[in-house]
Amino acid sequence: MKTLKMLSYLKLVFIVPFRVKRQFSSALYITGDKAHKTFAVLTPVIDFEKQLENKDVLERNFKARQLPLDIDKIEERWKFFHDIDIQKKTLELTRIKIGALVRELMKDEEANKHEIEKYKLHSRLVKDDLNNVKQYFHNLEEDTMLILLNLPNVLHEKTPLELVTLHKFLENSEEKSLSHMEIAEKCKLIEYIDPFTCYFKSDAALFEMAVLNYFRHSLLDLDYTQFSNPDFCRSVIVEGCGIKHEEKSKVFMLERHDQSKDDVNRLHLCGAASLSSFMAYFCRHTIQQSYFPLMYFSVGRKYQPISEKTPKNLFNLSQESVINIFTSTLEEEDILDEVSKHVVTLYESLGYHFRLAYLPANKLDESESLRLSIQMYSNHLKDYVEVGNISAYDSYLSKRLLFNYSVDKERRYPKIIAGTLVNIPKLLGCVLENNSVKSASLITSLLQKFMFV
């Protein structure tokens, strides 16, 4: 009778209309109903209960980022999911206990015939309700976990509400310039076809070689290790880095003609010099504590979709030559200050005006806790353009993709600082507009010196 009362209570619970319209299926969190057709690479660490201990911090985070999120509704959703999970486990335990009781009664089947029939009936009722609960639960579980996985990273204490300039080198010219596209076409420096197909020619090609050569050798001198990464990664890595893997405006997706729409194990073009390609290597990777800090960089391409409405210039390309750095440490502040000093030294040697600034919270990606923006001035746009950035991610990426180290057999998650140290097309665009004011020569004596370092 107690079991039947519990079942009646469960049936009342499941008429509650608590559903969220799902935007996409998760590749990072695979529920039990999909495990038979999709391999679960990992189960991300979701410490929402711990975050709720500082609910006011979450609210300030949402407000600073200008995100339309209601922490009370998210908490309510989490508690509802938690309650249903308890009830599912209760049904599973009840079924096991009834099975054990029936097996015990079967030792004297004739004497306990009536009792056996009664418990078998209860077992069928529990089984039916458990199946119904599981069907509902898997949808509820994925919806809830997607909400939690889409919560933004905790903000770094240095993240401002308005842009803060940290360092400035030289002064920017106020003289109006032609656009870099006009200058480049006039000097026959580039051949632009579309955002994905843009060729550097003549001095522009030498400029690319010189700058990449300079940064590569400088990083090696600073004890960074060069990494060779793949250009492709799977959906689980993309989502682990905080990008919705099914949004074609966010990431390139390679599709087979026979691929199912429900398949979440897709391949994406991200580029060898991207955060995703680094995290593909460190996913489910355990590093000895003594090896930290890790300091790596990769030279190569970075790919991202570009809207057709975006202005056609070097500031908006789908394919870019970049140098990406990846550092991981136990103490974020020390490495962040060190990387900032490296950026200043590297860019001042180029001899062009630039500034370093912390971007405000509402300009950050959801995965970032802090972004140090490297900006050069566009004499045509009369505004600053980001030619590089260094972002702090705290342990956000490590927990999602299980990049870890061990202390006394306890798994812990390192902090990650990574970003595009230099974006060649954007740098070239700013240099062209700057040089149209100062000099007709693009490859200065400074860059010639770096060509064969």
Backbone angles phi and psi of 334, in degrees to 5: -60, -50
Same domain? For 216 and 328 the reply is: yes
Same domain? For 177 and 325 the reply is: yes
pLDDT band at 29 (very low <50, low <70, confident <90, very high): confident
Q: Which residues pair with 385 in a beta bridge?
A: 376
Backbone angles phi and psi of 165, in degrees to 5: -85, 125
For 150-201, write each residue's pLDDT tens digit: 999 999 999 999 999 999 999 888 788 899 999 998 889 999 999 999 999 9
Q: Which domain holds residue 171?
A: 164-451
Q: Which of 18-22, 229-233, 330-334 has the lowest mean pLDDT?
A: 18-22
Rounded CA-CA distance 403/426 in Å is 32
- How confident is the model at residue 1, as a pLDDT? 39
Same domain? For 145 and 170 the reply is: no
Rounded CA-CA distance 417/391 in Å is 6
For 357-407, write each residue's pLDDT tens digit: 999 999 999 999 999 999 999 999 999 999 999 999 999 999 999 999 999
Beta strands (DSSP E) in 59-200 are 164-169, 190-194, 197-200
pLDDT band at 446 (very low <50, low <70, confident <90, very high): low
Final residue before a domain boundary, out of 118, 149, 180: 149
Neighbours of 51 (CB within 10 A): 18
14 pLDDT higher than 70: no
The answer to the question of residue 306 being in a domain is yes
pTM above 0.85, yes or no: yes
450 vs 111, residue with greater confidence: 111
Residues 6+ apart with CB under 8 A from 118: none
CATH code of the domain containing 358: 3.30.930.10
The answer to the question of residue 157 being in a domain is no
Same domain? For 136 and 266 the reply is: no
Same domain? For 294 and 220 the reply is: yes
- How confident is the model at residue 110, as a pLDDT? 76
Final residue before a domain boundary, out of 100, 117, 149: 149
Final residue before a domain boundary, out of 116, 149, 182: 149
Average pLDDT, the chain: 87
The answer to the question of residue 328 being in a domain is yes
Same domain? For 294 and 396 the reply is: yes
What's the total number of domains in the chain?
Answer: 2
For 343-366, write each residue's pLDDT tens digit: 999 999 988 899 999 999 999 999
